[in-house]
Structure 1
Amino acid sequence: MNAVTCQGRRCDAIRPSTLAHLAVGVSRRPACLRTVHRCRLLAVGEHVLILGMDYGLVLFTSDRGITPAAAARLAEDHGFDTFYVPEHTHIPVKRQAAHPTTGDASLPDDRYMRTLDPWVSLGTACAVTSRVRLATAVALPVEHDPITLAKSIATLDHLSGGRVSLGVGFGWNTDELADHGVPSGRRRTMLREYIEAMRALWTQEEAAYEGEFVQFGPSWAWPKPVQQHIPVLVGAAGTEKNFKWIARSADGWITTPRDVDIDEPVKLLHDVWASAGRQGAPRIVALDFKPVPEKLAHWAELGVTEVLFGLPDRSEQEVAAYIERLAGKLAAAV
């Protein structure tokens, strides 16, 4: 990575691909946001944003509209840091589980029943990008065989050159989980074991794991991920119970659409993180709907590490125009 000086401070977070945009008539003198501890130049079209947070895009994939590969390429071309996709294997027609947003069995979006496989989707995105991180928001690991899933994730990290982040959820749709043999009252324990078992497969030469739900003896499993540590983020409500789980087993939090005011939850997460003896700070990915300058600056000061915006499931041309407008709003916001 290249380094430049921002207001007298050295900045190591600037990518060579971003610096190229400085040579096309954009201001050559970056300035850090007052509240942040690191600088980031984010190139979006002809704009250069001086920001202290990463910016990501999430596509609720479906069998219509823009493809994941095209959306990821647009995200990278416009300087965004991460491209996310969600997961649902299926939606039982008759179910007891209420959707968190509607409060009943109705769905707020028919894409829940049309969602593409996340790892196939990110594989296609990997083939047409070289910089943007490839992530899930969120995946449901307990709906899979952990050994096979560990192989898929390690393979994607290997082929992408170390660009994978794993966003996971406990699973609000307990009927969906039940079809995969997941007992709803044990899904947190099961997810913890899956993550621990996959980490063993990713890091140990002869991996083994013995748990309640996952067991396997000494085994060889390659490829290993390029990253020494694949980040695991949990998409869940901002509660103390969830934060204790994160502090024990994950690396950070992805907010939900219901987490409108995140000030108190973020403070609580930092307190729980410190109480658990974790070093550094948790990663915090905040879902946003409209770039507001004061809010972005406040979030940076609060400790948010990435801001995430959703994409519409429209045509490639329409999504490209949407991203261009979003980039312009972000430029104006700072």
Structure 2
Amino acid sequence: MRLGLTMFATDRSMPVHELARAAEERGFSSLFLPEHTHIPVSRRTPPANGDAELAEEYKRTLDPLVALSFAAAVTERIRLGTGILLAAQREPIVTAKALATLDRLSGGRVVVGVGFGWNVEEIANHGVPYRSRREVARRNVLAMQALWRDDVAAFDGFEPSWSWPKPISGPPVYVGGAAGPKLFAHVAEYAEGWMPIGGKGIRTALPALREACEKAGRPMARVVPFGTLPTQEKLDYLAELGIEETVLALASVPTDAALRQLDAYARFVR
């Protein structure tokens, strides 16, 4: 099993280019960075993870595409992912261009993990009604894929257009979120895989994901557990399920603490 990493990269955590280089040196396969464009101070929406207070890193998150460009410049093999990109909160033409450029300059190493978002007021500030976020995200991803794929791309919202560079890798799209028929319908329609948080409940969810993919007439989606806190027992269990890659959670901490955690995780790399 390949092991990747994710960290809330901020202005206080280990610099992303140093983290990417250290991860590649230790044999990790990927580095994913999350996204929050901003956090409204009203805090009407409680933290999605159930904490009483929103963690500081949510307020200080770097732009993932800019940060990953620094990672690309100092590495050669590690794949560079968004985990997750808030697709409903992004203008698709500009974002497609940025991702294609990053993929081209990195030699085809980009993976696009997308999600729908949970912070109602953050999403509203982008002009997106919360109940519409899934459909807006779907539309934006399909628009970006048309721009990546077609020499003359057309989609609802823009006229037939040229947009180069074209990405080298696709790039593959993974959808993050909890198991369910709505999410699996999104995965089956336009994504290469599903990124469940942690890893709990995957065995139970696999039949429904397989059914959704079969209904769409496509191969079974890849499953990449995301933000996992590893133990050997947990990784062995995921491998038995046929999981080929798991993304481990790193704390959002400065360099010395991050390197200690990297070294502890490196013992799981094979």
Written as runs of structure 1 = structure 2, the 5 A alignment for 1:310-329 is 310-328=249-267
- Select between 122-131 and 269-278 the one with higher mean Cα deviation: 269-278
Amino acid corresponding to residue 266 of structure 1 in structure 2: L
Aligned residue pairs total 269
| Structure 2 gaps, min length 5 | none
Q: Are the counterparts in 1 of residues 8 and 61 from structure 2 also a CA contact under 8 Å?
A: yes
Pick one of 183, 201, 218 that aligns with 1:242.
183
Q: Aligned letter for 1:269?
A: L
Rounded to whole Å, the distance in 2 between the matches of 1:119 and 1:220 is: 22
The one-letter code matched in structure 2 to 1:236 is: G
- Pair 1:135-2:81 in alignment: yes
Which residue number corresponds to residue 68 of structure 1? 16
Counterpart residue type for residue 218 of structure 1: P
Match of 1:49 in 2: none
SS in structure 2 opposite 1:137?
A: strand
1:291 and 2:237 correspond: no
SS in 1 for 2:224: strand
Q: Give ranges in structure 1 of 5+ residues lacking alignment.
A: 1-52
Deviates more, 1:187-196 or 1:311-320: 311-320
Looking at structure 2, the residues matched to 191 and 303 of structure 1 have their Cα atoms a distance apart, in angstroms, of 29
Alignment pair present for 1:271 and 2:211: yes
Listed one character per residue, the Cα deviations across residues 91-132 of structure 1 (whole Å, up to 9, x for unaligned) are 11114333222277x31x110011001011101101100100
TM-score (ref. length: structure 1): 0.77
Contact 1:266 / 1:302 at 8 angstroms: preserved in 2? no
- Which of residues 180, 194, 202 in structure 2 aligns to 1:253? 194
Compared with structure 1, are the counterparts of its residues 131 and 159 closer, same or farther at alpha carbon in structure 2 (3 Å cutoff)? same
Question: Residue by residue, what CA displacement relative to the aligned partner does 1:195-245 show, whole Å, maximum 9, x if unpaired?
Answer: 1111111111111111xxxx1111111111012x21111110112221122
Q: Is it true that 1:56 corresponds to 2:34 in the alignment?
A: no
Q: Would the aligned equivalents of 1:62 and 1:116 in 2 still touch at CA under 8 Å?
A: yes
Match of 1:225 in 2: 167
User: Retained in 2: the 8 A contact 1:253–1:284?
Assistant: yes
Q: Quote the sequence identity (%).
A: 41
Instruction: Measure, in 2, the Cα distance between the counterparts of 1:73 and 1:232.
Output: 24
Match of 1:175 in 2: 121
| RMSD value, Cα | 1.7
What is the CA–CA distance in structure 2 between the aligned matches of 1:261 and 1:292, rounded to whole Å? 18
Partner secondary structure for residue 223 of structure 1: coil
Distance in 2 of aligned mates of 1:145 and 1:62: 23
Structure 1 outlier segments of 4+, above 4 Å: none
Q: What one-letter code is carried by the residue in structure 1 that aligns with 2:166?
A: K
Kept after mapping to 1: 8 A contact 2:88/2:134: no
Equivalent position SS for 1:266? helix
Aligned to 1:147: 93
| 2: CA distance, partners of 1:55 / 1:134 | 13
Match of 1:123 among 69, 75, 83: 69
Ranked by relative contact order (alpha carbons within 8 Å, sequence separation 6 or more), the top structure is 2
Query: How high is the TM-score relative to the length of structure 2?
Result: 0.94
Q: Describe the SS at the equivalent of 1:273.
A: helix
Q: Does 1:304 align with 2:243?
A: yes
Give how far 1:319 is off.
1.7
Larger radius of gyration: 1
- Aligned 8 A contact 2:40 2:121 in 1: yes
